[in-house]
Structure 1
Amino acid sequence: MSEAAHITETAHAMADAARRAILPHFRAEGGLAADNKAADHFDPVTVADRAAEEAMRVILAERRPDDGILGEEFGHSEGTSGLTWVLDPIDGTRGFMSGTPTWGVLIAVGGPEGPSFGMIDQPYTGERFWGGFGAAQWTGPLGARRLATRRTATLDEAILFTTFPEVGTPQDRDGFRAVADRVRLVRYGMDCYAYALLAAGQIDLVIEAGLHAYDIQAPIAVIEAAGGIVTDWQGGKTHMGGRAIAAANPEIHRAALEIVAPFAAG
Structure 2
Amino acid sequence: MSLLSVKEYKLYSNFLNTLAKNLNKFYYSKLNKTFVISNKLKGKGYDPVTTSDKAFEKFIRLKIKQKFPGHQVIGEEFGHKKSTSDFTWVIDPIDGTRSYVIGNPTWSNLISLNYKGNPVVGLANFPVLNKYYLNTNNKKAYVFENNKRKKISVSKDILFSNIKVSGAFHGAVSLKQQMKIPKVLKLMQFPTADALSYSHLCEGKIDVVFQATNKIWDIHPLMPIIKAAGGVVTTWDNRDAVNAGNILVSANQLIHNKMLKLLKPVSK
Q: What TM-score results when the alignment is normalised by the length of structure 2?
A: 0.88
Are positions 1:235 and 2:238 aligned together? yes
Runs of 4+ in 1 over 3 A off after TM superposition: 23-26, 152-156, 164-167, 171-178
Aligned counterparts of 1:73 and 1:176: Cα–Cα separation in 2: 35
Question: Considering only aligned residues, what root-mean-square deviation do their CA atoms show, in Å?
Answer: 2.2
Contact 1:199/1:222 (8 A) holds in 2: yes
Are positions 1:195 and 2:201 aligned together? no
Change (3 A) 1:219 1:17: same
Q: Which residue of 2 aligns with 1:253?
A: 256
Q: Identity of paired residues, percent?
A: 26
The one-letter amino acid of 1:107's match is I
Q: Which consecutive unaligned segments of at least 5 residues does structure 2 have?
A: 1-5
Q: Which consecutive unaligned segments of at least 5 residues does structure 1 have?
A: none
Q: Which residue of 1 aligns with 2:20?
A: 15
- Aligned pairs, number: 259
Q: Which residue of 2 aligns with 1:25?
A: 31
Q: Which residue of 2 aligns with 1:130?
A: 134
Q: Which residue of 2 aligns with 1:60?
A: 64
Deviations 1:21-68 (A, max 9, x none): 333534x4xx54311111322111111111111111111111111111
Contact 1:167/1:176 (8 A) holds in 2: no
Aligned counterparts of 1:103 and 1:142: Cα–Cα separation in 2: 20
Are positions 1:120 and 2:121 aligned together? no
- Give how far 1:251 is off: 1.8
Change (3 A) 1:176 1:75: farther
Pick which of 147-156 and 224-233 moved more.
147-156
Contact 1:206/1:247 (8 A) holds in 2: yes
Q: Which residue of 1 aligns with 2:3?
A: none
Contact 2:95/2:194 (8 A) holds in 1: yes
The one-letter amino acid of 1:221's match is P
- Give how far 1:131 is off: 1.6
Aligned counterparts of 2:59 and 2:180: Cα–Cα separation in 1: 39
The one-letter amino acid of 1:106's match is L
Change (3 A) 1:20 1:198: same
| Counterpart mapping for 1:57-206 below 5 A | 57-133=61-137, 134-141=139-146, 143-151=148-156, 153-162=158-167, 164=168, 166-170=170-174, 173=178, 178-181=183-186, 183=187, 186-206=189-209
Aligned counterparts of 1:219 and 1:177: Cα–Cα separation in 2: 28
